[in-house]
Amino acid sequence: MALSTVNFTVLLVLTLASLCSGTSDPGVYLYPQFYQHSCPRAQDIVRSVVAKAVAKEARMAASLLRLHFHDCFVKGCDASLLLDSSGSIVSEKGSNPNKNSARGFEVIDEIKSALEKECPQTVSCADILALAARDSTVLAGGPNWEVPLGRRDSLGASLSGSNNAIPAPNNTLQTITTKFKRQGLDIVDLVALSGDHTIGLSRCTSFRQRLYKQTGNGVADSTLEEAYAWQLRSRCPRSGGDDNLFSLDRDSPTKFDNNYYKNIVAGKGLLNSDQVLLTKSLETMVLVKQYAENNELFFDHFAKSIVKMGNISPLTGAKGEIRKNCRKTN
């Protein structure tokens, strides 16, 4: 399958649209060649470190991709997620969506260290997250795209924003749709970006309610295929085993493909937030079935949607800073 590439013209339209909406400084926008002169090897360095990390642990691809999502949904794509608690900063790492699940921070540290040696205080942590997400996707067999660059790093974090803005596994489709809409993302973006669950793992605690108390009667969610429900129950009991891990895509958990959607159609979506894409809306159901049948269409929509997501409220120009260490402000 050829890689789906979002061309520069599309990226320029998206970034200029961001400019018109007031999310960037006047006259400043994101574009793939941002570091062409200031740090020409930047993308090669990010790609090299990510490749080494994923070769060591395939799961890391999903972890790095997830960091970009969880960063952009809180205060925009500004690397606020990477800040540790210090002084007046309360880290987003302790929020419900991130505690005991967000990972890959050491890989970001390694990338930042290498970039600081190559071109000090030039490449932002926010841009590192965006590049690492793209490289992780490609390494897992997914689509490629040009990453618009030029983001700067935040001077603070938002624990409450992280707790409230990031879609949760148990959210209703209406709630998830609202959270996406607040970020300027539509239904196509929602269904396409949910496809990042084609790789990675989830904890028992994230879907236990589907197995035992979805409707309060002690039985499994009726939209969950029965044999699959029993299989999940064997390792996800009513109590205990909170951190037991399960593949989000039971068929190809380390390969970025459309099996995630095929599983949903078969009633084998792991999370409630996965399965409701099929059962609670005709519009999302149509997209799920299209992606299940057409991997190339999924790749194309995912690439376009993640570029759009990466353009949420970037700090540019004189806003924010370029951190020397992604875990703390300068």
Residues contacting 95, CB < 8 A, separation 6+: 159, 162, 163, 166
> Rounded to the nearest 5°, which phi and psi values hold at 101?
-140, -40
**CB within 8 Å of 289: residues ≥ 6 apart:** 261, 265, 278
How confident is residue 100, by pLDDT bands cut at 50, 70 and 90? confident
* Amino acid type, 8: F
Helix (H, G, I), strand (E, B) or coil at 235: coil
Q: What is the mean predicted confidence (pLDDT) over 76-98?
A: 95
pLDDT at 216: 66
**Active-site pick, 37, 68, 70, 301:** 70
Q: What is the pLDDT of residues 254-265, one digit of tens each?
A: 999 999 999 999
Q: Which two tokens stand for residue 231?
A: 């299989």
pLDDT at 29: 85
293: left (phi over 0), alpha (psi -120 to 50) or beta: alpha
| Mean of pLDDT values over 128-150 | 98
The verdict on whether 68 is a catalytic residue reads no
Beta-sheet pairing, 245-247 with 201-203: antiparallel
Sequence letter at residue 288: V
